[in-house]
Chain A
């Protein structure tokens, strides 16, 4: 693996990579910085990057206006809940598809993925009516259910591709040793699949956290997550750049931090079995 590269070449690549990475990251950084400015400084021309009067006023004002922690907690419950429920349903299905495929397996997978192509707004009214009748409007349970369904195809498909990587011989050997189906899954399959399951989890938490149609339209107050929190800042009156930045930073910070710390796991699994 150790490639010999001249230091000069390495420096050149480093400079290029850092430039591009910073450019990609810049809008986020800029939002973060702006959130500490006063409204006047936020739109100052020329803009100041670091040398302005840092203030926490915007965060204070945002928190005064809306209960951030309530929304954040809802986001946590919804994203982790739906991921957990999704895994519970998807692991057996993916296992079955990977180790006991039939000629329809591929079609079922493709069909599952195609359910994601139905534009949600087209089915809003039917779902709304059903939720009203089942008393699921503005409940965390209802949202967990919806997001489980929305992301299930991706979960099944990701798990399927990981499971397929696991050589069948090992399972065969375990079975020869008299392992039951349950033991086989628990002791043989799961440890090998952990990286895959972990990154599936992460990706789905991210997708569920950022889902903005159902979470906005099926909630009012009690179950409203951060996507609804942001909806109250998207066009306030007058000068709002700094407050918008503060609210945006608050809405994305938890998932950003989670993503940063777990990026290795996320990346390892993000390959969808694309690596041979």
Chain B
């Protein structure tokens, strides 16, 4: 099948994407790399000078850096666990015969369609607000003190908001995968007296392996750069309690207008992302081979 003819045609067809993406990535990346070695603040033009590794040193010794790194991992990790775990349960439930399944599916998919900014605003003002929010009202109704979510549990609140956005995505993919499960195999196992748990663990989970991999991969890509939700709700605080790496770079770039520092931060983030990607692909690459 792979004749010489098709091979060169294939290369020709692939090249626009590859070249364009390469430019999109390489040109800004090269510029970023260059800026990261400069002392370059947008607010003080004409002061640019070679700074060597100063920006990197400064970014990595920032007291916020390790909190941000830690928060990023917590955020990505917990949202993955919640959305995959919750999504799995939701998918199992929706796979059962349910009246009005179409509408249920429409309702469940909805959070995924909402702009991050809007969902952050809605959660902050309508749900989690300690005086006017619905949670506060619920707490008062049952006689509890309202919790001030965004300052008492900032990272948890953000995990909640982001999980809400990504749970539908996981549910849908897992549900679709579940629906392609071979019924006969399940029934045969049931006949043989296999327990519910056994069937789930040895038939359902392996069948979903690839779908779960896909969910993890796609979500990780988006979760590493969660930003709007933090900016709108907590602005990274209190303290550094909800600052992630992306947000830390934002403060360098658009608060201090320190292009050099932000560039160094960007490069560090790319390196970190690639480390994550490396392990991720190692971990789940086998599943993608298929």
Contacts and interface: CB of A to CB of B under 8 A. Distances in A.
B281 A18 contact: no
A10 B21 contact: no
Given A25-B107, A30-B126, A274-B210, A206 B96 contact: no
Given A25-B110, A122-B249, A270-B172, A212 B267 contact: no
B256 interface: no
B6 interface: yes
A126 interface: yes
A119 B225 contact: yes
Nearest to A12: B96
A141 interface: no
B201 interface: no
Interface of A is mostly: helix
Interface in A3-29: 3, 5, 10-11, 13-14, 16-18, 20-22, 24-25, 27-28
Q: Which of A3, A34, A46, A120 has the most CB of B within 10 A?
A: A120
B189 interface: no
Contacts of B274: 114, 117
Interface in B183-235: 183, 210-211, 213-214, 217-218, 221-222, 224-225, 227-228, 232
Contacts, number: 294
B17 A152 contact: yes
A117 B114 contact: no
Contacts of B259: 125
B121 A230 contact: yes
B246 interface: yes
Interface string B114-133: 11111101110111000010
Interface in B149-176: 164, 167-169, 172-173, 175-176
Interface of B is mostly: helix
A1 interface: yes
B142 interface: no
Given A1-B183, A10-B98, A122-B267, A256 B227 contact: no
A259 B110 contact: yes
Contacts of B277: 110, 113-114, 117
A198 interface: no
A45 interface: yes
Contacts of A129: 31
B47 interface: no
B129 to A, nearest CB: 9
Given A115-B24, A119-B269, 11 more contacts: A11-B99, A27-B119, A28-B111, A47-B137, A113-B221, A115-B21, A122-B270, A152-B21, A230-B118, A252-B114, A270-B172
16 contacts: A3-B97, A22-B107, A25-B111, A117-B277, A118-B269, A119-B225, A119-B269, A121-B246, A122-B266, A122-B267, A152-B24, A252-B115, A256-B114, A266-B172, A270-B176, A271-B177
